Amino acid sequence: MAAAFGHFWWEFLIGDTPELFVGAVAVIGVVALVCLDHSLHTAAAVLLPVLVGGLLVGSAWKASRKRPS
């Protein structure tokens, strides 16, 4: 039962693209560190979509290189 529960969460969070999971955790960590300084909350609000967009563009670029010819 516990193994099935762990397997579900592994497949749900990581699945076929562990780099997206690691990237998402890194983006959240960077934004959390920026938010520690209360004067940088606006910068964090701008930084979050920029980092997520970069992560998605990088993932799409990587996927397009893997496509068979």
- Which tokens is 55 given? 């992560």
Question: Is the pLDDT reported for residue 67 higher than 80?
Answer: no
What backbone torsions phi and psi does residue 45 show, to the nearest 5 degrees? -65, -30
CB-based contacts of 31, cutoff 8 Å, min separation 6: 44, 47, 48, 51
Rounded CA separation 4/16 (Å): 18
pLDDT at 51: 96
Residue 56 covered by a domain: yes
52 belongs to a structural domain: yes
Q: Confidence band (pLDDT; 50, 70, 90) for 69?
A: low
Domain with 40, as residue range(s), is 15-62
Question: How many structural domains does the chain have?
Answer: 1
pLDDT value at 68 more than 80? no
pLDDT tens column, 21-60? 999 999 999 999 999 999 999 999 999 999 999 999 999 9
8 found inside a domain: no
Whole-structure pTM value:
0.78
Question: Is residue 29 in a domain?
Answer: yes
Residue 26 lies in a domain: yes
